[in-house]
Amino acid sequence: MKKTVLLLTLCCALIACKKIEVNFSYSPTAPRAGESVQFSNLSSSGEDWEWQFGDGLSSTLKSPSHAYKKPGTYLVVLTVDKKSSFRASKEITVHDTLPTFVCKDSLFTIFTDYTFTANFYNPYNYEHTFEWAVNDSVMGTEASLTTFFVDPDDSVSVSLHLTMATLDTVITKRFFVEDRATNSVLLRTPEGDFRQRIFGKRAEEAEFDVTASDLLDLEQDTAQFYNGNEFRLSELQQTFPALEGFHIASRKIYYRAEGLWVANIDGAYPVQIDSLPCTAMTLDVLDSRIYWANEKGVWYMPFVGSDNNKFVSTPVQLNTFDDVTKLAADGEAK
């Protein structure tokens, strides 16, 4: 009996004296101020954890994460089971945070909106200023810049001048801006034929284009096939006496008659879109837009969708050509 008690006592003593190997690692190995650091507990055993991160903060999680507000070198100490003999420590160097700016897009094309956003670390809310520039032209003074590029370029410069406390820095990045295919509107004037490419809500300047003549020669608004039926100006003038020209799309007729009008194809619910005399018009069925010309220039708006032809879109001015005699929509990519 005495031998059994002695053996149990020795076993308990050996268990109590078992050494715990305390160790840990962290990632990333070269963190910056404000960046989350993940500490991984590699200790062989234990039930109680105490972390001291060296900046006055602590944790009792087994494998915590921590972010340092300031750059510097800190001593991190891990104590297991509240015993000073079960302790490990390591130095961690936290580097300064370099300001930058980011954009969620990586490919850039002309006439497309892109947003660039300042990314900087300011834990103490210092006053700061921004100045954005594109190719050295100042474009904005807010934390983000939304802009678009007009011309394709293999090296567009976007810069952010950031000031904050003692920081005064300029971050510059360069981007490749590509051209892209899009639809066009062709214009005939006494000076010649022009092409104007349309990019969503924006358009290029109109440029002289000798290739536009063939399509403009064919384009006319006095006759049209729609859903297998032929519509002619003379026949439609019985319903629309002042009709000078027309186009049909989505069971709507858009027509020139002392201005620009839209009505249902049976003549119901005529609504005037523009009161100025309309010298030319065309429809772009791919982009669902109507284009027309008056004495102030060329305008466009989306197709009218309501049954009673009440439109809510505001006409947008495309250019200031005041002598357009013909328009044509070129739906082929250019």
Q: Which of 10-24, 235-249, 250-264 has the lowest mean pLDDT?
A: 10-24
Instruction: Please give the pLDDT value at position 14.
Output: 45
* Position 165 pLDDT exceeds 80: yes
Instruction: Please give the pLDDT value at position 298.
Output: 97
What pLDDT, in 10s, does the model give residues 266-323?
889 999 999 999 999 999 988 899 999 999 999 999 999 888 998 888 899 999 999 9
Answer yes or no: same fold for 2-94 and 100-178: yes
Helices and strands (DSSP H and E) totals, the chain: 3, 30
* Position 81 pLDDT exceeds 80: yes
* Position 179 pLDDT exceeds 60: yes
Triad 274, 278, 284: Cα angle to 5°: 85
Confidence of residue 19 (pLDDT cuts 50, 70, 90): confident
Mean of the per-residue pLDDT values of the chain: 90
What pLDDT, in 10s, does the model give residues 223-249?
888 888 888 888 888 888 888 999 999
* Residue type for position 213: S
Q: Peptide bond before 241: cis, by omega within 30 degrees of 0?
A: no
DSSP per-residue string spanning 49-111: EEEE-SSS-EE-SSS-EEE-SS-EEEEEEEEETT-TTSEEEEEEEEBPPPPEEE-S---EETT
Percent of all residues in the chain with a pLDDT value above 90, rounded to a whole number: 68
Rounded Cα gap, residues 306 and 286, in angstroms: 19
pLDDT, average across residues 54-58: 96
Instruction: Please give the pLDDT value at position 332.
Output: 66
pLDDT, average across residues 31-49: 92
* Position 16 pLDDT exceeds 70: no
* Position 7 pLDDT exceeds 80: no
Instruction: Please give the pLDDT value at position 167.
Output: 87
Q: Where are the domains of the chain?
A: 2-94, 100-178, 183-330
**Architecture of the 100-178 domain:** Sandwich (2.60)
pLDDT, average across residues 42-67: 96
Task: Measure CA of the first residue to CA of the last residue in the chain; give whole Å.
Answer: 101
Instruction: Please give the pLDDT value at position 224.
Output: 86
Instruction: Please give the pLDDT value at position 27.
Output: 95
* Position 108 pLDDT exceeds 70: yes
CATH number of 2-94: 2.60.40.10
Instruction: Please give the pLDDT value at position 139.
Output: 96
pLDDT, average across residues 209-217: 90
Q: Which residues contact 129 (CB under 8 A, 6 or more apart)?
A: 141, 161, 162, 163, 164
Tokens 């030319």 sit on residue: 280
